[in-house]
Structure 1
Amino acid sequence: MSWPDVPQVLDLVGIFVFAVSGALAAVRKRLDVVGMVVLAEITALGGGILRDLLIGAVPPAAFTSLGYVLVPLAASALVFFWHPQVTRLLPAVLLFDAAGLGLFCATGTVKALDHGLSPLHAVLLGVVTAVGGGVLRDMLSGQIPSVLYDRQLYAVPAMLGAAVTAAASSAGLHGGGVTAGAAVLAFALRALAMRHGWRAPRPRGVPD
């Protein structure tokens, strides 16, 4: 496998894991196979589509490669037939989800910077890339988006990874190593938050 192929493979791995989380959400909501596929696709691709539409990168990347559509379908099939087994593997799935979060916040920021956005706006779009699909999933399944109460830190690691990517770019540092480093930082914070139960603070006087 040549080096240019590696980012695309990692992208598809992240899409697969996000799609699994969307399909599992459909199982918890007792949706049928159509609802499962919709939630899987929107969770996996929603953030990237929102980013590309906002920066004018049309058609969005999700519509330029067959793999972006087929991978969520494969994840849906896996969950449809073997969701009890997938649920038992949920801790491992969550770790891969954290890896996808780190990867998407960093690559989303890089793409926004490449389209001429300021570092601040690129960070915002990096976060949108990482969490946008999950927000759409929660809205479609009729619940408050989990990012709004950020249990075990989700948006915060995405902000960290996006901010590090933008700061490095402003300092003249570019390339796959910088993107990978920012992704690893976001992944590490998310993984530590899951292990130790860290969460974003609430306003004073608001009970847990």
Structure 2
Amino acid sequence: MVQATPDIFSSMLPALIGFCGVIVGGVLQVVAKHRADRYSHMMELRREVADLIVSVSGFATAIVQSAVWIDSVREDLKARLVNDPQAEADIDDDYHERLGEAMITGYRESAQKSARLLVASDQRIADHVGSLQLRLADVINEVGYMHAGNVHISEARAKEIQQYIMERINVLVNMVAPAKWERFSNFRSAKRAESLLIKERAKRL
């Protein structure tokens, strides 16, 4: 009986190893699936952010294009009024309509896409997008009637608006696109993203 114990243990050892292997394999599968799901989720968030960036950039560009065109129409009218007090503005109605539509569509799409990101699982992204959405609302309140002739937004002011919007966008890009030496699944905070952008600008000076 004294010698039977090692024999029993020896006979059970392969089964124990196999059982442990099954447990370890199961744990590894769960971990791998979790990592895959996390990576897929992160990539989906990045795609949604990229879509938002395209719309917001288009909105900002349409504001500048509209201001440039309206300024040119105003300057042309001013010059012609010198010789003809009865002169009227020479407006390309089709181009005017396209610019106005591009601006409003850009804002509408930006608002819709940002609304989806307000409930993003990463609270840092949701918070920054929320701040951006409020700023876009302020912008459309300022420029929304420029094509109706009720509000004049100069080219210089339009470019100020565009610059501010693009700065907010650059922070968002930096939040979701970490450097190569950082983990692919990590998002940055807005504060860290802004800090890194400032350092990058300083290096270029």
**TM-score relative to the length of structure 2:** 0.33
Greater C-alpha Rg: 2
User: If each structure's helix is expressed as a fraction of its own residues, which one has the higher value?
Assistant: 2
